[in-house]
Structure 1
Amino acid sequence: MDGKQLQSQYKDHLSDFQNWDQRAHAQEYILYPKNMGYHLCIDETALSKGDLYTILINRDKRGRKGSIIAVIQGTKTDDIIAVLTKMPQELRNQVKEITLDMAGSMQKIAKTCFPRAMQVIDRFHVQKLVYEAVQELRITYRWQVIKEENKAMKAAKEKGEVYKAEELENGDTLRQLLARSRYLLFKSPDKWTKSQKIRAELLFKQFEDIKHVYY
């Protein structure tokens, strides 16, 4: 028996797929109201071929059996609400807390479907926004330094001189400092290596607003 035949036999006969009560709409959504809990989490993820799905889970299950409450194709607010409100109102009213990202669409879904639940912003999404802000500031300064260096190189060339960028205490130029600080800004200070600690000190001394955003 080849692999395809085995797969077909399992799907059509052994797995009871043909009698699955969610088979008719499984490509659009799957609902497990029995897995509802008091503390939920809603998020979007790419499951296959880059297609996005909205997933609702019971956080109290901690990833174990019975964690998944809903898997819905797409991220369109009205579509998600239409599916989630298929679950009984009294069941949805039991939810005390729902964790979500900062998107307005997610907040609308949570408010509509779980009106009594307190909305909690996922700390990982908050951290991601902070990291992005720090990196954006670093990149902005790096382009400014590159622009200034190019001007200095042009001026030196016109004078027949060789341009040499000033080096900092650790041997980095300002341009190199900004480029090489990328990874340390993703880490907490207690995770820095010795060289990263020195580089961070120099970076924050040169660019105090990066320090303020980081901390």
Structure 2
Amino acid sequence: MDSKANDCNAIASFYGVKGKNLQHQYKDFLSNFKIWDQKPHAKQWLLFAQNIGKRLSIDETSLSNGELYTILTNKTAKGRKGAIVAMIAGTKAETVISIIEKIPIKRRNLVTEITLDMAGNMGLIAKKCFPNATRVTDRFHVQKLATEALQEIRIKYRWQAIDHENEAIEKAKKNKKKFEPTILSNGDTIKQLLARSRYILYKNKSKWSEKQTERAKLLFELYPDIEKAYGLAQDLRNVFENTTDKIYALTRLAKWHEKVNQAEFKSFNTISRTIQNHYQTILNYFDNRSTNASAESFNAKIKAFRSQFRGVRNIEFFLFRLTNIYA
């Protein structure tokens, strides 16, 4: 039973009525859901033109069963009342553009900056709907690519370690011997070392605990490629965290590209090309250091709101309650 049902049951019992009856009364009469002006098209799109501001974020979110919605939010609202500008079913650029263009161009021309990920559809939507806005690629999406490339290398070695252990176990069985895995100085087997190093590689060295530092030292000694890839991921993070000047950032990124070329990691070369293809919008980050964090935070709020209902049974009513709070 979800929290709404619990609340209704508690109130209903106080007045001596059935909880389900009170829920239906709330939905059908007390909540104004039936006379909601956006109800006829709520499943397809919602617009709140009055919430548009100078700085927006655009992202996608899932409501139920993997169904994606494109969501446009006002950064100034900081995830509270007035945050939602638009919610549109799907992520197809043409569909989203046609809905956002229902907002008068005069209002859309007020937008000076919009943050987004590197998806081509998001870039097209931002360009077509907000022609006066500077497009800013979210730095965390860029950093995430580097982290995923690093983890890919770790996982590759982990599968190799599992294969080697299986071969050793089979060999021991054939020779009627007991298999004894190699135990490292910190108590890990090699397979365990690679598995337990996952979270270490997300962190900066300065945030490692004593045990994590010991584990990282062993990992890097056994797998120099992981250490090299970790250095590349940290170097990219440092560009964003420790650079304030746009021109200097361009220089530092050029040096990072050179390091990537020398390292000869296929996944990092792919990231390097991706960054080069989005150079302008990535460098725009250094103007105001704007990110899509507000959109990601708002997505988390939607998921938390959804979890209170143990899923979304009635999408229209869910959207009605969501927009009452955030639009």
Same fold per superposition (TM over 0.5) = yes
- More strand per residue: 1
Q: Could you say which residue in structure 1 is the equivalent of 2:218?
A: 202
> In structure 2, do the counterparts of structure 1 residues 172 and 13 end up closer, same or farther at CA, with 3 Å as the change threshold?
closer
Partners of 2:79 and 2:205 in 1: CA distance: 31
Question: Structure 1 residue 58 and structure 2 residue 69: aligned?
Answer: no
> In structure 2, do the counterparts of structure 1 residues 156 and 117 end up closer, same or farther at CA, with 3 Å as the change threshold?
same
Partners of 1:146 and 1:125 in 2: CA distance: 31
| Secondary structure of residue in 2 paired with 1:48 | coil
Kindly indicate whether structure 1 or structure 2 has the higher relative contact order, using CA contacts under 8 Å at least 6 residues apart. 2
| Secondary structure of residue in 2 paired with 1:70 | strand
Which of the numbers 101, 125, 128 marks the counterpart of 2:144?
128
Partners of 1:8 and 1:130 in 2: CA distance: 50
- Tell me whether 188-197 or 107-116 shows the greater mean CA deviation: 188-197
Which one-letter code corresponds to 2:206 in the other structure? Answer: D
TM normalised by structure 2 equals 0.58
Q: CA deviation at 1:189?
A: 2.7
- Tell me whether 98-107 or 168-177 shows the greater mean CA deviation: 168-177
Which of the numbers 168, 176, 184 marks the counterpart of 1:168?
184
Which one-letter code corresponds to 1:140 in the other structure? Answer: K
Q: Could you say which residue in structure 2 is the equivalent of 1:42?
A: 58
> In structure 2, do the counterparts of structure 1 residues 8 and 167 end up closer, same or farther at CA, with 3 Å as the change threshold?
closer
Which one-letter code corresponds to 2:153 in the other structure? Answer: L
- Tell me whether 47-56 or 158-167 shows the greater mean CA deviation: 158-167
> In structure 2, do the counterparts of structure 1 residues 144 and 12 end up closer, same or farther at CA, with 3 Å as the change threshold?
closer
The percentage of counterpart residues that share the same residue type is: 54
Q: Could you say which residue in structure 2 is the equivalent of 1:78?
A: 94
Q: Deviations over 1:51-70 (max 9, x none)?
A: 22111100111112111101
Which of the numbers 15, 39, 43 marks the counterpart of 2:31?
15
Over the aligned positions, Cα root-mean-square deviation in angstroms equals: 2.5
Q: How does 1:186-201 map to 2 (within 5 A)?
A: 186-201=202-217
Partners of 1:120 and 1:172 in 2: CA distance: 43
- Structure 2 portions without partners, runs of 5+: 1-16, 235-327
Which of the numbers 182, 203, 212 marks the counterpart of 2:198?
182
TM normalised by structure 1 equals 0.85
- Tell me whether 155-164 or 203-212 shows the greater mean CA deviation: 155-164
Q: How does 1:81-120 map to 2 (within 5 A)?
A: 81-120=97-136
Partners of 1:16 and 1:177 in 2: CA distance: 57
Q: CA deviation at 1:154?
A: 5.3
Partners of 2:19 and 2:46 in 1: CA distance: 27
Q: CA deviation at 1:36?
A: 0.3
- More helix per residue: 2
Which of the numbers 73, 76, 84 marks the counterpart of 1:68?
84
